[in-house]
Amino acid sequence: MVSVVPVPSLSISPFLRQTRNARTFPITLIRCSSSPSSTMEEHPKRVVVCGGGVIGVCTAYFLAKRGAAVTLVEKSAVACAASGKAGGFLALDWCDRGALSSLARASFNLHRSLAQELDGPQSYGYRPLTTLGLSITETESQATPSGSKTSIVPNWVDGPVRSPKTIGTPDTTAQVHPQLFTRTLISKAVENYGAEVVIGKLESVEVDEGRVKSVALEGGRVIESDAVVLSLGPWTCKLDLLSSIFRVHSLKAHSIVLEPKNPDAITPHALFLTYHPSQGGKPLDPEVYPRPTGEVYLCGMSAEEEVPDDPEQIVGNPEAIEVLKRVAKTVSSQLGEGEAEVKAEQACFLPCTDDTVPVIGEVPGIRGCYVATGHSCWGILNGPATGAAMAELVLDGRASIVDLSVFSPARFVGRSRRGKV
């Protein structure tokens, strides 16, 4: 079944409307060229973006803003998978000294610019954060050991924490509500720049004489295009055109969302934990993100697992969810049973590559066919710069906001057998 979906104006959470004491923050503006050329206005380039997660939506947003005629194809719903269930944590420099350094820095600053442009604090919960690293041991007594708590640990973190340290400041770490962020961008792309959202399953990419021609959807609809961007996340492995070149495997990550009785007591401190279970064994590394909605998000308990065909079939493993609930009550008495309502128990799949580097660029041997996938746990952070760079690559022939050469899918050519397109 294929249907065109009108995207309504975003319904903003009443919690965000009521956010108090909103702090100001310095803005480092990064601008992706956004004025359509006269040629583009006369003959807009037809681009089909496949995948309604944050990477596809950011790509669609910047393409449409540049004047392209954009159709976003999504099988289920925009931000229905990892882009709706992620933590939304942003970091300026945590990817330094690696292949993602320039992409992450550009994207962190682009998040700031978008927050100013789209009223991010109110629209999708953008805010700077202090980020702490803590060690915590699960015990029968949840009291903090005498002398171990310091002034950097907020009062609501009243569990047995040790070795607290600041690992991010409001200048270097921030957050968004990922589902609200992604849906805000697609709403703007539709309302302001004429993008179209189509709910349908991608069947194939049609190629003629080495150039992309169209995409075919389940049910028979064919969408003619001058360019196609494949941003399929963990479902990249389901498309032979791409899986014959490189492998994307999926990491299943679990999370819960809690609503404490006293949300005003929960300060904007993200927590990265070294968590020692009471029964011993290898320490866990869960993360805790309070949100300006009044909710608290906890995630962790990841393992490689094959992604199901339908995102609606994804459910969390009960054992992993129970561990996260124990983490919550160990960290804070305000997050335990009876003190906080469980709003969601969920899981999502993160797209990972064999060399841990995203795949961003034109597909070798097929002109006008592009791919953007494999961002693992940094998809929300790197979505804006990936989308802006893809828009430049598709419309200008090269990206200027960030050098994409290290991400090119051409790096895999020769490592695996090319299959049938």
Q: What is the pLDDT of residues 175-192, one digit of tens each?
A: 999 999 999 999 999 999
Give pLDDT, residue 146.
44
Phi, psi of 77 (to 5 degrees): -160, 150
Q: Across all residues in the chain, what is the average pLDDT?
A: 89
Instruction: Retrieve residue 250's tokens.
Output: 């999926």
Residues counted in the chain: 421
Stated pTM of the model:
0.89
Higher pLDDT, 6 or 265: 265
**Which DSSP string do the residues of 102-167 spell out, in sequence order?**
HHHHHHHHHHHHHHHHTTHHHHS--EE-EEEEEEEE--S--PPPTTT--TTS-TT--SSEEEEEEE
Residues facing residue 46 across a β-bridge:
69
Average pLDDT over residues 265-276: 96
Give pLDDT, residue 7.
43
Give pLDDT, residue 29.
34
Give pLDDT, residue 36.
53
Give pLDDT, residue 141.
54
Give pLDDT, residue 17.
33
Give pLDDT, residue 330.
96
Whether 24 has a pLDDT exceeding 90, the answer reads no
Give pLDDT, residue 279.
83
CA trace torsion 77, 178, 250, 387 (10° rounding): 80
Q: Measured between alpha carbons, how far is 107 from 357 in angstroms, rounded to an integer?
A: 16
Whether 18 has a pLDDT exceeding 50, the answer reads no
Average pLDDT over residues 241-254: 96
Higher pLDDT, 415 or 296: 296
Average pLDDT over residues 10-25: 33
For residue 281, name the pLDDT band (cuts at 50, 70, 90).
confident
Give pLDDT, residue 149.
56
CA-nearest of 354, 360, 416 to 383 is: 360
Average pLDDT over residues 286-313: 95
Whether 414 has a pLDDT exceeding 90, the answer reads no
- Give SS3 for 93: coil
Q: pLDDT digits over 36-58, tens only?
A: 544 455 689 999 999 999 999 99
For residue 19, name the pLDDT band (cuts at 50, 70, 90).
very low
* Sequence-ordered list of residues with C-beta below 8 angstroms from that of 290, at least 6 positions apart, any chain: 266, 267, 268, 269, 270, 296, 297
For residue 31, name the pLDDT band (cuts at 50, 70, 90).
very low
Q: pLDDT digits over 209-231, tens only?
A: 999 999 999 999 999 999 999 99
For residue 139, name the pLDDT band (cuts at 50, 70, 90).
confident
